[in-house]
Amino acid sequence: MRRIGAHVSIAGGVSNAIYRQQDIGGNTGQIFVSSPRIWKVSPPSSEEASSFRMQRKKFDQAPYVVHSMYLVNLGTKNDDIFYKSLKALQEELNVAHMLGIEYFVFHPGAHTGGFEREEGLKRISQGLNELLVPKDTKLLLENTTGKGTTIGRTFEELAAIIEGSDKDFSSLGICFDTCHAFCGGFPIHTEKGLESTIDKLDEVIGIENLGVIHLNDSKHPFDSRKDEHEHIGMGYIGDEAFKRFLNDPLLTNIPLILETPVSQDLDHSWDISKVKSFIRNSDV
């Protein structure tokens, strides 16, 4: 069975995410476990965590993903930001473990505060060394568009971060975002471009180390280095590219998480239905 879902809110309690996912037709999902724009992490009660686990099992929603807060930056020279980022990441990882969540996604960061790119890469690896990744949760580095000083646009940079740390693919992996890749210069909108991108991913990272796909169209053109998501097929990547992507045999077992816009007219249920309509295998 293909696993398709979306990022949903935990407002009113983390277990409410399960019901929201069910309402939009998802059977996997992603959440924040804290506000993405403040440093504070408030763990759920043991009762709420238990409810989340029970409802997940009841509705067969798996795997689940925690997305880190946006403030995190392990690539910075600024010690205050670096150690705040480490603390927040560890606290969020602990919540993911408490909830029994399989994947934790974060953006590697940006080389800021006077660091050059190579120094930023080393700093992120140093940060990974400091983190205690729970046994049953895999930490996934997400590819970026490469805007400004952000790190992680290429598979080589993601691999360098992992190889520079004291961890390996038993606890680490990557999350591939289609909008980020497209705007970062990977031509996934063409047949040959998609093939070359998947080949490069397999060569440098290994398909087996791809944990999650963020499935998003783009409001901006190819290689723009911008990051603004669009509904599936309504952006510059387009319907035909997503049909090829969704039916590529190397990607069919990877969970798909939508981070597409939500408006009064179109919500995640629309995107999930469209994604399902593109998949040739009827087992969705």
Q: Per the structure block, which two tokens stand in for 15?
A: 């277990």
Among 97, 153, 180, 220, the one annotated catalytic: 180
- Residue 228 is among the residues annotated as catalytic for this protein: no
- Residue 268 is among the residues annotated as catalytic for this protein: no
Q: Say how far residue 208 (Cα) sits from the centre of its chain.
A: 16
Among 157, 227, 230, 271, the one annotated catalytic: 227
Among 3, 20, 56, 107, the one annotated catalytic: 107
- Residue 111 is among the residues annotated as catalytic for this protein: no
Among 20, 53, 220, 229, the one annotated catalytic: 229
**Which residues face 173 on adjacent strands?**
140
Q: Count how many residues are written for the chain.
A: 284
- Residue 60 is among the residues annotated as catalytic for this protein: no
Among 3, 53, 56, 67, the one annotated catalytic: 67
Helix (H/G/I), strand (E/B), else coil: 201: helix
Q: Check if the beta carbon of residue 63 is closer than 8 Å to that of residue 3.
A: yes
- Residue 248 is among the residues annotated as catalytic for this protein: no
- Residue 203 is among the residues annotated as catalytic for this protein: no
Among 19, 70, 203, 248, the one annotated catalytic: 70
Instruction: Please name the residue that has the structure tokens 């934790």.
Output: 104
- Residue 64 is among the residues annotated as catalytic for this protein: no
Among 142, 157, 230, 271, the one annotated catalytic: 142
Strands 172-177 and 138-142, bridge-based pairing: parallel
Helix (H/G/I), strand (E/B), else coil: 93: helix
Among 130, 195, 202, 259, the one annotated catalytic: 259
Half-sphere exposure (CA, 13 Å, Cβ side) for 250? 16
Among 97, 111, 153, 214, the one annotated catalytic: 214
- Residue 220 is among the residues annotated as catalytic for this protein: no
- Residue 214 is among the residues annotated as catalytic for this protein: yes
- Residue 130 is among the residues annotated as catalytic for this protein: no
- Residue 259 is among the residues annotated as catalytic for this protein: yes
Neighbours of 63 (CB within 10 A): 19
**Which residues face 261 on adjacent strands?**
none
Q: Per the structure block, which two tokens stand in for 173?
A: 């992996």
- Least Cα distance to 69 among 23, 99, 107 occurs for 107
79 burial type by CB count under 10 A (0-12 exposed, 13-18 middle, 19+ buried): exposed
Q: Say how far residue 215 (Cα) sits from the centre of its chain.
A: 9
Name the residues annotated as catalytic. Answer: 37, 67, 70, 107, 142, 177, 180, 214, 227, 229, 259
